[in-house]
């Protein structure tokens, strides 16, 4: 399993919760207990970003002094996507991206990391179809705005009032699609100890395992990118649980 990240993601870049000090460190502390390979993220090129965003939006992000960190996050997502075509990969990156549309952004996002990554895979001929599972607490409107009408991408933002119904929705949808790659916008803010208050750490493992199992069945690539998750006390364990599932490892006993 390869983890794409960078030391620059440790430094706060704005005052929003996604950029808070101490958010990335617990994730890396948990993942470093595994036998994973860590790879430095490289920034996305302007052309890569421009497949998903307008020049005006890129200029807007640049004027706010956020181009470098946002391009680095997008580049990490591209690396995870490309590696993910041969083995599962996960990008521990920030800023998050799923609220970034082609010409606007909100919700702590600037460039849409997963949309840029999927468009990159399509551009270089690695895929003809893709499915995105977005289990962040908040609907990934930017991803839908960029990719929803492209015709080669299906997108699932699960919604349910119980854990059981939520997981069943993920399972049912995954087993209906046969894409070349399954990308995951992995937000952990729907945890019982985070903003959403619904899912357990076990549930994140189960969703990762579902993606792994379905991808293996159909010969698809698979990768994930970090989106939300704001309770630093549980974020690292939740990411580790999901990533273990995503690469087919058994759950930890403590889960």
Q: Residues 203, 209, 211, 214: is their CA dihedral positive or negative?
A: negative
CA distances (Å), origin 67, targets 5, 54, 95, 116: 17, 14, 11, 14
Distance separating alpha carbons of residues 123 and 53, to the nearest angstrom: 15
**Would residue 138 show up in a list of annotated catalytic residues for this protein?**
no
Distance separating alpha carbons of residues 255 and 240, to the nearest angstrom: 11
Distance separating alpha carbons of residues 76 and 44, to the nearest angstrom: 8
Token representation of residue 234 = 């549980």
Question: Phi/psi at 105 (nearest 5 deg)?
Answer: -160, 160
Token representation of residue 200 = 């357990």
Residue 157 CB contacts under 8 Å (≥ 6 apart), including other chains: 134, 135, 136, 139, 140, 144
In contact, 224 and 114? CB cutoff 8 Å: no
Residue 180 CB contacts under 8 Å (≥ 6 apart), including other chains: 126, 127, 128, 129, 130, 220, 221
In contact, 109 and 138? CB cutoff 8 Å: no
Catalytic, out of 99, 138, 156, 191: 99
Distance separating alpha carbons of residues 31 and 3, to the nearest angstrom: 9
The residues annotated as belonging to the active site are 99
């Amino acid at each position: 399993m390869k983890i794409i990240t960078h030391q620059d993601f440790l430094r706060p870049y704005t005052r929003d919760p996604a950029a808070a000090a101490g958010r990335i460190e617990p994730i890396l502390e948990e993942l470093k207990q595994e036998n994973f390979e860590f790879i430095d993220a490289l920034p996305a090129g302007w052309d890569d970003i421009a497949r998903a965003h307008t020049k005006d939006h890129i200029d807007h992000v640049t004027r706010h002094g956020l181009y470098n960190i946002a391009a680095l996050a997008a580049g990490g997502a591209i690396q995870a996507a490309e590696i993910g075509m041969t083995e599962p990969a996960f990008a521990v990156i920030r800023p998050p991206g799923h609220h970034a549309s082609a010409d606007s952004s909100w919700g702590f996002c600037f460039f849409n990391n997963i949309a840029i990554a999927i468009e990159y895979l399509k551009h270089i001929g690695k895929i003809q179809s893709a499915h995105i599972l977005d289990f962040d607490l908040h609907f990934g409107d930017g991803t839908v705005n960029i990719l929803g009408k492209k015709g080669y991408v299906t997108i699932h933002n699960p919604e349910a009032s119980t854990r059981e119904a939520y997981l069943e929705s993920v399972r049912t949808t995954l087993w209906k699609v046969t894409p070349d790659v399954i990308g995951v916008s992995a937000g952990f803010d729907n945890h019982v100890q985070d903003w959403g208050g619904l899912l357990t750490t076990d549930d994140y493992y189960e969703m990762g395992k579902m993606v792994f199992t379905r991808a293996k069945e159909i010969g698809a690539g698979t990768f994930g990118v970090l989106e939300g998750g704001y309770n630093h006390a549980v974020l690292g364990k939740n990411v580790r649980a999901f990533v273990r599932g995503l690469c087919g490892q058994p759950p930890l006993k403590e889960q």
